Copies of this chain bind each other. A is one copy, B any other.
Amino acid sequence: MSDKTRFLLDETEMPTAWYNVQADLPVPIAPSLDADGNPMGPEQLAVLFPMECIMQEVSQERYIDIPGAVLDVFKTYRPSPVIRAKQLERVLGLPAGVKIFYKYEGVSPAGSHKPNTAIPQAYYNKLEGITKISTETGAGQWGSALSIAGALFGIDVEVFMVKVSYEQKPYRRALMETYGASVHASPTNLTAAGRHVLSMDPDSTGSLGIAISEAVEVAATHDDTHYSLGSVLNHVCLHQTIIGLEAVKQMELAEEEPDVVIGCVGGGSNFAGIAFPYYHRRLNGRSKARLVAVEPKACPSLTAGEFRYDFGDEAKLTPQMEMYTLGHDFVPAGIHAGGLRYHGESPLVSALVRSGDVEAVAVHQVASFEAAVQFARAEGILPAPESSHAIRVAIDEALAAKEAGEDKTVLFNLSGHGHFDLSAYEAFNAGKLQDYDFAAGATLCEPE
């Protein structure tokens, strides 16, 4: 075992192909259906997405090459480090045989894993001659990542930001605008969908569903414009596998095989990123790692949802996908981990949970923040509230091993830093956060 703290890869060691888990699923995922229940073909999606992403959505090839121009941009911040949490291990009083490692995606220019898919999506759109990408954003993380990617490849980005967030989070908006994006408070007068909402309620503060409708409409009605999604879909999960492909190499440098690999799940892409390459490694007999997806108890699609066809959005504009879902009209309680407030779950992650290859666990908000603060005070890095769910389980796994007198190596994905989430920490410090239990009935709330 190496006694080093950080395990780095040179850019020459960066993976040059993504890992496509569809090649290795125990049961293939069911086809996406349109609103009438008919299987969807590529041509129906081409109005929204570049053909390369559509083909990745259904590809059964195990490895898909990362374009050179995408690798060139990745080199400005990737490979990201794997860090052994030595200070946290000390604070937890772990014995020598219990170790915690984390892959840190907060080093990206957006401070999260989101650029890993925003960059290739922008590139593929550029190749097709698309000049504008529309998208929706709630708190702004995805909008920021896509704005950066658009700036890098010279594509305009038009963001429909839920009005209540637009007004409450002017700094997130400023970030997107600095990268050159146009940001609108949704509902707007720019689309039929927005005008319809405003005609019913001129004071509407918007919702993610309305913002999606507006972004999709803009793409569907302009030949030079496409739409982009930051999670859930197969090609998004594919793009995030660079996280785990790097981590496998870095853990080899550390001379450790993880016993458990942990990530938080909302739409599922950062978990897919760290976990799918370890799933493949397990199939090859080179790993015995348990794969643990951590969701919030306020929005527990994997542990309390149904596995069935459902729409990806409240407005039923997306295809129907077979996945774990709480229902497309479910409105999660207002936890601060806005990125985990999603009613469904990536079909790929759902398939592996259903097959028993991935474990799912749900944790409470306050316990996650407690873990985040313990981590921050030991390791220095302030985690994003989403990532804190993974930290909670990583600490619990390590303490359980200590208690049982067993050796264990824990690896988790620290998907982003919390420098944009200080209002959440402020509330936690003031003792104002509360837990929401799905089983006890969801609490309706404003969108994040």
Contacts and interface: CB of A to CB of B under 8 A. Distances in A.
Interface of A: 4-6, 8, 10-12, 72-73, 75-77, 83, 86-87, 107-111, 115, 148, 151-152, 170-175, 177-180, 373, 376-382, 419-420, 422-423, 425-426, 428-429
29 contacts: A4-B11, A4-B12, A4-B75, A5-B11, A5-B72, A6-B11, A6-B76, A8-B8, A8-B10, A72-B86, A76-B87, A76-B379, A76-B381, A87-B152, A109-B382, A110-B380, A111-B419, A151-B378, A152-B378, A170-B422, A172-B422, A174-B422, A174-B425, A175-B422, A175-B425, A177-B426, A177-B429, A178-B382, A419-B419
A426 B76 contact: no
Given A4-B12, A11-B4, A175-B425, A180 B377 contact: yes
**This chain: how many copies in the complex?**
2
Contacts of A178: 373, 376, 382, 422, 425, 428-429
B10 A174 contact: no
A151 B90 CA distance: 13
A12 B7 CA distance: 11
Contacts of A107: 107
A93 to B, nearest CB: 14
Contacts of A429: 174, 177-178
A-side binding surface: helix, strand, loop or mixed? helix
A295 to B, nearest CB: 24
Contacts of A151: 376-378, 380
A155 to B, nearest CB: 12
A422 B377 contact: no
Contact of A6 (B75, B83, B111, B426): B75
Given A175-B425, A419-B419, A109 B10 contact: no
Contacts of A83: 76
A380 B75 CA distance: 11
Contact of A73 (B4, B77, B87): B87
Given A5-B75, A151-B376, A170-B426, 13 more contacts: A5-B72, A73-B380, A76-B381, A110-B380, A151-B377, A151-B378, A171-B422, A171-B423, A171-B426, A172-B422, A174-B426, A178-B373, A178-B429
B380 A115 contact: yes
Contacts of A173: 426
B171 A109 contact: no
A376 B151 CA distance: 9
A204 B170 CA distance: 29
Nearest to A111: B419
Contact of A380 (B152, B174, B180, B423): B152
A175 to B, nearest CB: 6
Contacts of A422: 170-172, 174-175, 178
Contacts of A76: 5-6, 83, 86-87, 379-381
Contacts of A180: 377
Nearest to A429: B177
Contacts of A86: 72, 76
Q: Ordered nearest first, which 3 A-B pairs have the shortest CB separation? A: A109-B380, A171-B422, A174-B426
Given A174-B426, A426-B170, A179 B77 contact: no
